A = this chain, B = another copy of it.
Amino acid sequence: MSSLAEELRAIVGDRHVLQSEAEMAPYLVDWMGKYHGQAQLVVSPGTTAEVSDTVRACARHGAIVVPQGGNTSLSGGATPGSAGAVVLSTRRLRTLRRVDPVGNTITAEAGCILAEVQQAAQSAGRYFPLSLGAEGSCTIGGNVATSAGGVAVLRYGNMRDLTLGVEVVLPDGRLFDGLRDLRKDSTGYSLRDLFVGSEGTLGIITAATLRLFPTPRASVTAMASVEGLDQAVSLLNQINDHCGDRLSAFEYISGACLSVIAKHVPSAPLPLPAASDAVLIELTDSHADAPLAAMLEEQLVTASEAGLISDAVVAQNAAQAGAFWKVREAISEALVREGGSAKHDVAVPVSSLPEFVADADAAVQRVMPGARPVIFGHLGDGNLHYNLLRPVDAGNAFPGWDRVTSGVHAVVSQYRGSISAEHGIGQLRVGEMPAFKGEIELELMQRIKGLLDPQGLFNPGKLLPL
């Protein structure tokens, strides 16, 4: 029997099978540098047929397969474990197969970069709304496999909502061709939705057909100071009720978070004082003449009269709008510079957000007195990045965060929330799945996994506990 490496070379060509430590290194660590794994080789098939043949060869050899796209996971979902896996990189699956501006769809292979897909939509006079920090390097396959979120979910939905069809190489190497570009199809179980969000544990997504939208031609951006989350939720509610689908972003940044930005990222000056929490609001419209600024100003006046906001600035031009967004985008850098933070990507029903945060804050102080919440996120979707900084006097050798995370996630469960709103489970949260999902849901997931991947070779240890 020939070696797996020899077989794979015959399938994809010599230079697309990497085996040296130096060549494999970038594939064996996640971009945060948090997870390190091992692999016997890294293989990069160039077509769906080559993916099929690669997977068949791996199955014959009983080799573990770890699919990897842009390697931007925040949960270690694409980094192999220690068992000498085959890392299957989708980077060469780069064909944009079809853009249909009349049907409002785009079909892209898994390795296409998100920003390329946005660009291709724009070139066709359409808009692909998924937008997130890693968009310059993350891939469509990874976006689908994690049901990625980002800043435009409020209006356009997450990657599950944006995905019309998928093409998947199953763990036995067969192709599930589900690349339908239909808006309506009531013909049985949605296999598509089984693969969306499956994090490479049920096969390899090789291509997806995605929804496109009319181009937003008008937009207005504002920042407003709010007393707290209660007021922020009321403001969201008011604007949503009157402006409807025009509301494309409603981001929350706590005062504590603003202070950290002011301290560490002077290139992102705050338009409003850090003494209050802030919300970043954006309205967009496909109609070029839509009077969005007047509409938003009217809403802000109403909110001010109702005592929901204490101050507000409406961007007067695109540069100013960009400066407001720069504040939002500076958060990650600011938290890194401050050092020693714990991250929680949680979601609860929007109406429960204020109570949830109060309860979570209390739970944190019980476990780690002095820990400093620096909360921000996609308030419009009920998705907060409930992050914490170590106590001011804790120094660099502060204790681990595990007990704090357990406390926060216990509160999430009380509110029937999510412990991973948009980052996936990966390695990071896999240990928490039994407590979070409960026996029946986890059992059904395990049995579906067993049905599609009876040998357990696909991305083991991710998403579902071994």
**Chain B residues in 8 Å Cβ range of A320:** none
**Chain B residues in 8 Å Cβ range of A191:** 441, 444-445
Asked if A181 lies at the interface with its beta carbon under 8 angstroms from chain B, I say yes
CB distance from A55 to the nearest CB of B (A): 14
Do the beta carbons of B184 and A286 come within 8 Å of each other? no
Asked if A176 lies at the interface with its beta carbon under 8 angstroms from chain B, I say yes
CB distance from A436 to the nearest CB of B (A): 7
CB distance from A149 to the nearest CB of B (A): 5
CB distance from A354 to the nearest CB of B (A): 10
Do the beta carbons of B245 and A186 come within 8 Å of each other? no
Q: Which of A132-140, A333-341, A390-398, A420-428 contacts B (4 or more CB under 8 A)?
A: A420-428
With A182-B417, A295-B287 known as contacts, the answer to whether A198 contacts B189 (CB < 8 A) is: yes
With A103-B352, A287-B243 known as contacts, the answer to whether A153 contacts B421 (CB < 8 A) is: no
With A190-B196, A286-B244, A451-B451 known as contacts, the answer to whether A349 contacts B181 (CB < 8 A) is: yes
Per-position contact with B for A340-351: 1 when CB-CB < 8 Å, else 0? 000000011111
Do the beta carbons of B423 and A186 come within 8 Å of each other? yes
Asked if A91 lies at the interface with its beta carbon under 8 angstroms from chain B, I say no
Copies in the complex: 2
**Chain B residues in 8 Å Cβ range of A6:** none
Per-position contact with B for A143-158: 1 when CB-CB < 8 Å, else 0? 0001111000110011
Do the beta carbons of B441 and A184 come within 8 Å of each other? no
- Among B104, B215, B445, the residue within 8 A (CB) of A188 is B445
What's the Cα separation between A295 and B382 when bound, in Å? 34
Asked if A36 lies at the interface with its beta carbon under 8 angstroms from chain B, I say no
**Chain B residues in 8 Å Cβ range of A186:** 146-149, 158, 197, 418, 420-425
Asked if A61 lies at the interface with its beta carbon under 8 angstroms from chain B, I say no
What's the Cα separation between A206 and B268 when bound, in Å? 51
Do the beta carbons of B286 and A382 come within 8 Å of each other? no
Asked if A105 lies at the interface with its beta carbon under 8 angstroms from chain B, I say yes
Do the beta carbons of B182 and A448 come within 8 Å of each other? no
Per-position contact with B for A227-243: 1 when CB-CB < 8 Å, else 0? 00000010001001111
CB distance from A440 to the nearest CB of B (A): 6
From 207 to 254 in chain A, residues with beta carbon under 8 angstroms from any chain B beta carbon are 213-216, 233, 237, 240-245
Asked if A285 lies at the interface with its beta carbon under 8 angstroms from chain B, I say yes
**Chain B residues in 8 Å Cβ range of A424:** 186-187
Do the beta carbons of B158 and A188 come within 8 Å of each other? no
Which of A186, A351, A421: most chain B Cβ within 10 A? A186
8 A-B pairs whose Cβ atoms sit less than 8 Å apart in the complex: A102-B237, A180-B416, A182-B418, A186-B418, A188-B425, A188-B445, A191-B445, A287-B295
Chain A to chain B: the 10 pairs with minimum beta-carbon distance, closest first: A244-B286, A193-B193, A102-B351, A103-B351, A245-B245, A185-B418, A184-B421, A103-B349, A183-B381, A214-B244
Residues of A whose CB lies within 8 Å of any CB of B are: 100-105, 125, 146-149, 153-154, 157-158, 160-161, 170, 174-191, 193-194, 196-199, 202, 213-216, 233, 237, 240-245, 285-287, 295, 347-352, 378, 381-383, 416-425, 429, 433, 436-438, 440-441, 444-445, 447-448, 451-452, 463-464
